[in-house]
Amino acid sequence: MSESSKLSRRTFLRMAGLTAAGALAAACAPTTTPTEATGGQAPSGEKVTLRLWSHQNPSFVGANEQLIAKYKDQNPNVEIKYENFPYADFITNIQTSMAAKTEADVMEMFGSWVQSYAKGGTLAVVDESVTTLAKAQELFYAAPLDGYVWEGKLYGLPNEYNLEVGGVLANKRMFDEAGLTYPPTWASWDELVADAKKMTKVENNVMTVAGFDYVTGDGLGFLFWEGILEKGAEYFADDGVHLNLLTPQAKETVQWMYDMANKDKVVDPLTFNGDVNWVGTSFFQGLVAIGYIGPWIVPEGRRNYPDFKDPWDHVESPHFGSERKFAADSGWGKVVSPNTKNIKEAWKFSAFMTMDPANHRQWNVATGTVPALKSVAEDPTLLNDINWLGPSLKVLPYGRYVGMLQDRDYIWYTVVATHITECLQNQRSVDETMQLMHDEANALIDSKIKA
Distance CA 17, CA 86 (A): 5
Distances (CA, A) of 3 to 14, 111, 148, 232, 410: 12, 16, 21, 29, 6
Percentage of residues in the chain having pLDDT higher than 90: 85
Residue of 250, 223, 222 lying closest to 236 (CA atoms): 250
Residue of 336, 341, 362 lying closest to 351 (CA atoms): 336
Confidence of residue 44 (pLDDT cuts 50, 70, 90): low
Average pLDDT of the residues in 80-106 = 95
Residue 17 has pLDDT above 70, yes or no: no
Distances (CA, A) of 44 to 41, 130, 327, 383: 9, 18, 44, 41
What domains can be seen in the chain, in order of their start residue?
Answer: 9-163+329-401 (3.40.190.10), 167-327+405-450 (3.40.190.10)
Dihedral pair phi/psi, residue 213, rounded to 5°: -105, 115
Is residue 148 a contact partner of residue 141, using CB atoms and an 8 Å limit? no
For 375-399, write each residue's pLDDT tens digit.
999 999 999 999 999 999 999 999 9
Out of 53-57, 183-187, 222-226, 299-303, pick the least confident.
Answer: 299-303
Beta-bridge mates of residue 262: none
For 105-141, write each residue's pLDDT tens digit.
999 999 999 999 999 999 999 999 999 999 999 999 9
Q: What is the DSSP string of 267-286?
A: --TTTSSTTSS-HHHHGGGT
